[in-house]
Amino acid sequence: MAIELGWKISQAKVKVLCVNRRLRKSLSITASATQSHCAMAVTPSTPLLSLLERLQETAFKTFGTSNFDPKTYVDLPLKFSLSVTEDAFQKLPRNASGSVPVEELKRFLEAYFGGAGDDLVHLDPRDFVPEPKGFLPKVKHPEVRVWALEVHSLWKNLSREISGAVKAQPHLHTLLPLPASVVIPGSRFREVYYWDSYWVIRGLLASKMYDTATGIVTNLISLIEEYGFVLNGARAYYTNRSQPPLLSAMIYEIYCSTGDVELVKRSLPALLKEYEFWNSDIHKVTILDAQGCTHTLNRYNAMWDKPRPESSIMDKAFASNFSSVSGKQQFYRALASAAESGWDFSTRWMRNPPDFTTLATTSVIPVDLNAFLLGMELNIAFFAKVTGDKNTAERFLEISDLRKKAMNSVFWNANKKQWLDYWLSSTCEEVHVWKNGHQNQNVFASNFVPLWMKPFYSDTSLVGSVVESLKTSGLLRAAGVAISLTDSGQQWDFPNGWAPIQHMLVEGLLKSGLKEARSLAEEIAIRWITTNYIVYKKTGVMHEKFDVEHCGEFGGGGEYVPQTGFGWSNGVVLAFLEEFGWPEDRNIEC
């Protein structure tokens, strides 16, 4: 029986609606319709988060800026009830500036709170073995193989289970209870994250840790069942937003490795629910293109208009540049929506870069988000076919074809041979008329992400053009692909390179089958593996991001110090080594 879809695609057969060009000027929107379209959802906060944000602010005033991480304070579990803790907090002695004597605050923290991360328990994964059978057979270089096994062993360091205390008294924790064990990114990121999990799973599959990989998917499905979408991360303060929708891609990879049909069957209803979330009014945008055809595409749009609890101090400081309440709220939504994109932060979301206060994430229709949704549509069609649901399979193939056409119409730039983000004039129109000059002409690695999807990498002629564009884009650097060409001081800008971007581009190039594309893919992978290896040998740890301008240097910038661990970096290194190997006679040096 076909699964019922909970959203309206069309009353009739799905098709592209092309409007007569003479009607374009009549598409003015009434004030009431505009106001309705501008109504923005806001997830309510909780009393626990309110207390922890005030604690964060007090700690900042008391301890100062040195080594201060605001996230620490919203991760603290309570030892006593909220009312008892709140009462004790109110009784702390304060001076006129709101600070508390240092020793007083330290005693209070020790008495009333556990440590950040104490509500997770280290776990030895049952499916971990020191050297799995068939592990990275193409890696012949002895030193690289030793390193690869050390990276493989890091899964033990990053594996956790949620403590019994969280499940028994969830109201004392911002950590959310989950049914299965978790793999965290590392360092300050001591909880599950959505899009990180895709590359963690790719590494786990290379490590033959199928049960752990499936457990991650089980956790993310549980979030959909509870909240209607996969949260940014498994914390109470992340319930206002998601992250790039890659759950279907995770399930696809596990299915390809294990043939687990039962996983597909139990995942499909959750994926349909997640798809409904991403196609709700807050994320959906209608564009009338130059040919008079309407297209539906999607954007990031967090359900939040306040400071992010995990970064409240910094958010308020930047928002002080706005005089009006509505200006601050708009900026807070842009901040949270950039976090939803995974690219927090980048000049990509700024109207006047590098001015951080011009962040306007919800005014951007992003290339990569729509590529991910295209992949999701194709995966749902595939899963429906596997489970025998022919109607749903056919419907999602039709929907995916519409998205491909929309992406070509709105994003593709024939001169640059790239897909470019599109800037909206206003977020308050029901139908946005495509305007020449609204494509973002700046070069970002995301301009090439559609190549990761089959409808694009299977087009040999297109791939040839995109390969030439990538080669001449300026993004290819000594140690991999740069995220952008703008050195703004933000972490999702030059000179940083990130594991997910390297992997998506390399895999897309590889799957095209084009000889020139495969050669470029291997070249990028070799550079990336090399810089990861050299940095690991220098520092003894794997890093979150890397300086691709200089081989053997980790990345920096942004609102927190460089992090180590690190889930997706480990996963991409293992995936690259599984695909390309490392010959015994190839040196590994910068």
Q: Enter the tokens of residue 387.
A: 């489970």
Q: How far apart are CA 87 and CA 28, in angstroms?
A: 55
In 10 A of CB 390, how many CB atoms? 11
Q: How far apart are CA 340 and CA 298, in angstroms?
A: 13
Query: Which run of H or of E encompasses 528?
Result: helix 515-539
Q: Residues 6 or more apart from 187 whose CB is under 8 A from it?
A: 544, 563, 564, 565, 566
In 10 A of CB 6, how many CB atoms? 12
Q: Which residues pair with 184 in a beta bridge?
A: none
The answer to whether 307 and 332 are in contact (CB under 8 A) is yes
Distances (CA, A) of 48 to 69, 194, 230, 251, 588: 19, 23, 22, 34, 50
Q: Write a three-state SS string for 16-31.
A: CEECCHHHHHHCCCCH
Q: How far apart are CA 437 and CA 432, in angstroms?
A: 14
The answer to whether 418 and 472 are in contact (CB under 8 A) is no
Residue in the structure block whose two tokens are 């927090």: 344
- Residues known to be catalytic: 344, 544
Question: Nearest CA to 357 among 326, 395, 398, 319?
Answer: 319
The type of residue at 570 is N
